[in-house]
Structure 1
Amino acid sequence: MWPRCIVIPLINVILVDLEELYEFLLDRGAVPDVKGIHMLRISGLWTPAGTSLMLSPDSKQTALRMSMPDDSEGVLSLALQWKPEWNKRNCSSLPPSWIRLEFPAMSSTKVECRSDKDVEKLTINTSTSANGHEAQKHRNLYPDVPPPPSYSPSPTSLRFRLTSSSTHPFLQLRSPTYELRHEPVWSAPLPSLDGTRPTTTWLAPLSLTFGLSSHCPTTFLTLPTILHNLSRSSFMPCGILVLAHLLSPNDAPEWESPEPPKKNHLDTHERFITQQQAIARERLLPEAQQQQAARLRQSEELSAMGTRMRKEQRERVEREERREREAINSTKLQMDLVQTAALGFLEGEGLVADAKNESDNATGDHKDLTLTAVERLLVGIYRADVGIDAEENQWAVDACEMLDRWRDWVERGGMTKEDLRAILRDKHAFCWAAVAMGLVTKVIGEERTDGGGLLNDVRECLRVWKKVRLG
């Protein structure tokens, strides 16, 4: 599970593998120095001595820096200075390329404080009637997957690592483990790899996006092409957000034709006058002719009313179709604005906890609301994929299906009316998908900044400098 440790003598200068050194220091809690690593990428051996490459866990002191070449004949020379008081990592700390998902409080049983001995005695109860009911429901929905056990107490988080794969879906989730207060306690079910479920396509790529934007250690994996393609076309017509009531018309650029003038009330008044005049004339006729004239008038009035209603219905349909066309072709908004609108809706529905009131258990920092939402979405996708509470997590499957639709309209070069109507039918799924797409766009945008961002800088340095002199 853990990266292998390497022994680093500090007296003699030795050659070490730079990637192993980097991963080792990450695992010890060191923090990459963004500016120093970028300078190393662009300057190489001419990077000034003393340039910081990695910082202490509190980011206040230098742990790894450039040193004098000392006739190293083209080999990079580094100096390591690690202090014992920085060694605060434990079994709850994540190694590089591992990701942790916190289970939302609303769907997790409150776990009482227990001693380490109590944790060792935790058992899996598979004999309760409630578990039997869940197992039966699980078998009905996923006949090819064994029923999940019932854990007591309920896990509070899930950890797993991501690995690259040459086959679909190109990233795979490995070694999923349930945690109790960030300590691993049970093996968790593996997600499906058959690619037949919408959750299979999105679980690993979105997990990697979440890991790259959260407190998880830096990973060397690259986001798949599907996300890069989506990020380049991740704009959304403003009219669609207005039709979905996610954006006020006053906050959107002008996009729709003005409404036709209201119906002239004189027409109604004229019909009323004409009717009264006809009734007055009927009263002057003999009774038999009067009844016949009244039936004829009423028949004509009903026919005229039907014609007017059909005309109004046709005009209403034409107006709605024109509005849909104009919405699809309206001014496109940047993804951060779309994400903000979607987050506001989900927060208003009580589906995302307020980030001001919820802090990260590992760091004590306030969670970003976007990360909170994506984390909950990933938990829902995982549970739905492995068949745990599948019905309760159908919303996550719907979000993945919306992402599939999103990918389709990007690949075909534009949305259709059916895409728009799908959004209006399931606004919740669209908002979850929009929040995920907002995070994807942000992460990929940061990678492209300053020559590729920290990840690309690290990858390039590790590609160029295989072995370094360490002293």
Structure 2
Amino acid sequence: MDKNGASATDIITYIGIPLAVLGVLPILYSFVRAILVQRSIRRTLHRHGLLDSSITRGSLMEGIVEVELPRCTITPLDRDEDPEYWKLNPHQVFLKGSSWSVFNWNTLVTGRQLVRCQYKDELRVPEADIDFEDLIAFLLDRGAIPDPKGWHLLKSIGLWTPTGTALLLPPRGMSGTVLKVATPDNADGLLSLQVDWKPQWDTRGSFSLPPFWVRLKQPGSGKVLADGTETMCEPETIDFKDDHADFEEIHEPQAQDISRDNTLVNETPENETSASQSLIKQIEERKLHVTTTPNDSFRFKLDGDRVQKVLFEDEELPTGEIHEMTSAGETANLWFICAASSLSQRLESELWNFTIPNQITSFVKRKSVPCGVMVLLGILNNDDVPPWASPPPSLQESAEEMSERMRRDMYERRLEDAMPPAQAAEARRVRMMRSAHEFHNQHIARQKALRDYEERRLVEAIQSARLENNTVAKATLAYLIAERVVPEGYTIEDLALAVLYLMVMDNAKGKLIGDILERWALWSQFGGMQKVQLELLMKNKVAFCYAAALVSVVYHAEAGDSNSSTDMLECLKSWKRVRLG
């Protein structure tokens, strides 16, 4: 004890014990905070229906709460059998990593994940594993549409794609993001995504076509021709039999003065034109040979990269009838899919699982049809295209030749008058034989000049300036309207949809259109058109017009980058499974 009366015990009592208490306070704080955080987390788990499936425990000394939550693998419900497929989950979990709970799923617990939390805000639900293709198909079925920019970015830089990059957007006309790239929960090399859905985005239901199915409705006769008559009531000129039937022989014309618009090659296609039949009427007549029950549409989907069959419908309900598409040929089948994919925005469902081949996209962008050929086919006039043909030869005698012939004839007649009768008769006979021989030689020369001009005109037409495919399609559409093959007011898209329907109803016609498109692509790629190809177009002018419509819609689709499925399909191949959080 010192002189002031303070002992060591007093020092320990009044100074040491408070310091010891102060040293224990952080531990007490962590202890109390851990208990409070654990209680808060348990309340949160209970509120979201996760308490029974989770395990919570606290490390009181460290102030950390450990939560074991189930990790799930999810798959979409059965579209046709389970009505919950189209409904939102009424018990959605509003925690980090639980965006997938907005929908109803088939859920399989595949393990547990430990989450360590110091604060309630750090609680995070494990991401769910799902097949990437199943996820995309489900969201497309709900009405989402791909974002081309997002898919291109994901394809280019993969897992380094910035967080928040949109992959799927709401139905057209609505704002927001359906599916976007999320921050990964762990570094295991899997792509992490986040999903969102709002009730106002639900525009589809069980009545809608499943993903990757397309419905094509039969073109009707609602549009009226120029004379006010309905297309379906248009009288038929001849019976349509065989697309590959031989056409009538073209008779050799008599010697006459010719011009650019009065030539053999310009008149030959008129035989096919006179036999043209209304496209809508062709479809209606061919349908009688293909189906036996009433129907007004058909649906189809891709089997690999082909359409194997179509299913007929009446008022969007299956009739049970199936029509095979195999006999139309590979080329026709491919172009059918390309045109349907390009027109898919006008159809009820889009072919997101198909990419137009590079050789077709390159072909539709090339100028390939010479302007002179369009004139020879009678689809365009010379005034509508740049000058391309040399002037026609004159087949009449010139004034000098006629004057010389008349002068010589008068001179010979005077000589005959001065001759004795017998000699005059012989001279007259010789003069008439020479005149007949000269007339015959002139006729032969005119015919040769005409043939040479026709051959030269064909060559000049083939070598003339080439037109844009869109220009060709517009000209062929105007021609079909003028010939009453399609109703007035038809657009190129209307024509293309009707042609697709015709290709299903008439495999022979589809094969012919496919053959024309194949040859068209060949001459576009290898040096230009040849005479045999021009003759094919002359004999099948209407089928060429149908083919031009298909080329045009694919051209517009590629020019507008509306076929956004290329990058998406590549990404689906790269990532089989993703994590949805």
When structure 1 is superposed on structure 2, of 255-264 and 309-318 the one drifting more is: 255-264
Structure 1 position 314 matched with structure 2 position 462: no
Q: 2:216 aligns with which of 90, 101, 104?
A: 101
Supply the distance in 2 between the matched residues of 1:44 and 1:94 (Cα, whole angstroms): 32
Alignment correspondent of 1:466: 576
Alignment correspondent of 2:439: 305
Alignment of 1:12-411 (within 5 A): 13-66=127-180, 68-73=182-187, 74-90=189-205, 92-106=207-221, 148-151=290-293, 154-164=294-304, 171-193=305-327, 199-214=328-343, 215=345, 216-224=349-357, 227=360, 230-231=363-364, 235-260=368-393, 263=396, 264-354=398-488, 369-385=491-507, 396-410=510-524
Q: Is the 8 A contact 2:325 2:333 kept in 1?
A: no
Letter of the structure 2 residue corresponding to residue 253 of structure 1: P
Return the offset for 1:229.
6.6
Supply the distance in 2 between the matched residues of 1:236 and 1:467 (Cα, whole angstroms): 47
Supply the distance in 2 between the matched residues of 1:417 and 1:65 (Cα, whole angstroms): 54
Q: TM-score of the superposition, structure 2-length normalised? A: 0.61
Supply the distance in 2 between the matched residues of 1:381 and 1:104 (Cα, whole angstroms): 13
Return the offset for 1:159.
0.8
Q: 1:15 to 1:236 in 2, by over 3 A?
A: same
After superposition, give the CA deviation of every residue in 1:342-368 in whole Å (9 maximum; x if it has no partner): 222123223334557xxxxxxxxxxxx
Return the offset for 1:99.
2.3
Supply the distance in 2 between the matched residues of 1:334 and 1:425 (Cα, whole angstroms): 23
Q: Is the 8 A contact 1:65 1:80 kept in 2?
A: yes
Q: 1:310 to 1:175 in 2, by over 3 A?
A: closer
RMSD of aligned C-alpha atoms?
Answer: 3.3
Letter of the structure 2 residue corresponding to residue 186 of structure 1: G
Return the offset for 1:314.
0.8
Return the offset for 1:58.
3.3
After superposition, give the CA deviation of every residue in 1:173-203 in whole Å (9 maximum; x if it has no partner): 245211223332332221235xxxxx32344
Supply the distance in 2 between the matched residues of 1:343 and 1:285 (Cα, whole angstroms): 72
Percent identity among equivalent residues?
Answer: 30
Structure 1 position 423 matched with structure 2 position 543: no
**What is the SS of the residue equivalent to 2:579?**
strand
Q: 1:326 to 1:375 in 2, by over 3 A?
A: same
**What is the SS of the residue equivalent to 1:105?**
coil
Q: 1:95 to 1:63 in 2, by over 3 A?
A: farther
Alignment correspondent of 2:101: 9
Q: 1:192 to 1:468 in 2, by over 3 A?
A: closer
When structure 1 is superposed on structure 2, of 317-326 and 10-19 the one drifting more is: 10-19
Return the offset for 1:255.
2.7
**What is the SS of the residue equivalent to 1:377?**
helix
Supply the distance in 2 between the matched residues of 1:82 and 1:48 (Cα, whole angstroms): 21
Alignment correspondent of 2:250: none
Q: Is the 8 A contact 2:339 2:550 kept in 1?
A: no
Q: 1:157 to 1:202 in 2, by over 3 A?
A: farther
Q: 1:188 to 1:269 in 2, by over 3 A?
A: farther
Q: Is the 8 A contact 2:168 2:180 kept in 1?
A: no
Q: TM-score of the superposition, structure 1-length normalised? A: 0.74
Return the offset for 1:321.
0.9
After superposition, give the CA deviation of every residue in 1:130-185 in whole Å (9 maximum; x if it has no partner): xxxxxxx9xxxxxxxxx75522xx31111111212xxxxxx432452112233323
**What is the SS of the residue equivalent to 1:163?**
coil
Q: Is the 8 A contact 1:75 1:467 kept in 2?
A: yes
Return the offset for 1:235.
1.4
Runs of at least 5 residues in structure 1 that lack an aligned partner in the other structure: 108-136, 138-146, 165-170, 194-198, 357-368, 386-393
Q: 1:181 to 1:59 in 2, by over 3 A?
A: same
Q: 1:261 to 1:298 in 2, by over 3 A?
A: closer
Number of aligned residue pairs: 397
Return the offset for 1:303.
0.6
Runs of at least 5 residues in structure 2 that lack an aligned partner in the other structure: 1-75, 80-84, 90-99, 103-124, 223-241, 243-288
**What is the SS of the residue equivalent to 2:319?**
strand
Q: Is the 8 A contact 2:183 2:192 kept in 1?
A: yes
Q: Which has the higher Rg, Structure 1 or Structure 2?
A: 2
**What is the SS of the residue equivalent to 1:188?**
strand
